[in-house]
Amino acid sequence: MSAIINTRYLYNFKIKDDNEVEFESTNNVAKFLTLDIYKISESDKRKVYKGTIDDKKDCVVKVYKKSNGDLYYRIQDLLNDLKNFYKAKDISSIFSEKFKNDNDFIKFNYVNFYIGSKDKKDPKALKAFLKDSKNSEISNELNIIENYIQGNFKIFVDEYCEIKYKDFKSIPWFMHWNWVETNGTYLICDLRGENDLKEFSLSSPSLQSKDGSYGSSDNGVYSLITFLSEHEHNDHCKNLPWPDDKHIEIAKSLKNKYSSSKKCDDCEKTYDEIISSAFNSKFNFLNVLIPIVVVIVLCFALFFIIKKYKKNKNKNLGENLNQIENSTSEKEPTGNYWADME
């Protein structure tokens, strides 16, 4: 029996503020075979196969399983994967642009990521198709496709936000900055891919959030507490906002308490208190106060410099006037002068 080659038409996408997905057609086509020899990995919700884009570039094709329960959740799995990738790419791009001139900086770059459709569709029709949760062919019709990462594939940070490779300064720095940038509401984890001296090439991120809103891979508060418990500061992140020692100990105790279930569903209130200790601490108050004090001191210094300059200017002006007066009095003719002239 010959294997059937599966063809997928590729679309770029973006996630709008209201979580609506917008699509844009490309001229690219992916092909793959659903044979075990091409299968890279398998989870409870999808199988991952190796394929090619335009018969040139290697790619990864994620096929969502029909056996993954209710159809609605299969669609949600796909949508959540899109949302995770889009958020991760956005926040990593901001970080990379902000710190690109730092000596220890290594760029975080997520590979190209597409929606693959079995049939060539108008982008608006594809959007409507994706929103139709009653469409029973969703697992056969749509796939997520991304560029294949060459090299030594590693998991730098796992899905519970625990760092596995601690030799890279950029990883804890990026994660701490990410936590601060989002006010502790979500964190990019499951950092996997390969690296060289200049760049991390990453794939398949998962977002861990305070409210567990990023799909089945989002472990909620437990992952955020794990990050707080395990994080080690370095020179780049030691001055970023961080909970005080008391609240870090609370985070560690919660992590230990829920380590078997990997869930901490009743921890949100405590986690809010931990966040509050980071963003409302004296340390952060000083971060705001110190620049203000510096500006005030500079203003006073400038005021006294100007005052001294005016004083010296007036003094010099007075001395010049005295010299002029003395010079005039020396040249003024006396009575004896006119007598001599006679």
Give 140's pLDDT tier (boundaries 50, 70, 90): low
1 pLDDT exceeds 60?
A: no
- Report the C-alpha gap between 308 and 114 in whole angstroms: 67
pLDDT tens across 191-229, in order?
999 998 889 999 999 999 999 989 888 999 999 999 999
pLDDT tens across 291-331, in order?
788 888 888 888 778 877 667 666 665 666 566 656 655 55
- The reported pTM is 0.76
Give 111's pLDDT tier (boundaries 50, 70, 90): very high
Contact 61, 51 (CB under 8 A): yes
- Report the C-alpha gap between 46 and 143 in whole angstroms: 10
Q: Give mean pLDDT, residues 13-38.
A: 90
Give me the pLDDT at residue 70, please.
Answer: 61
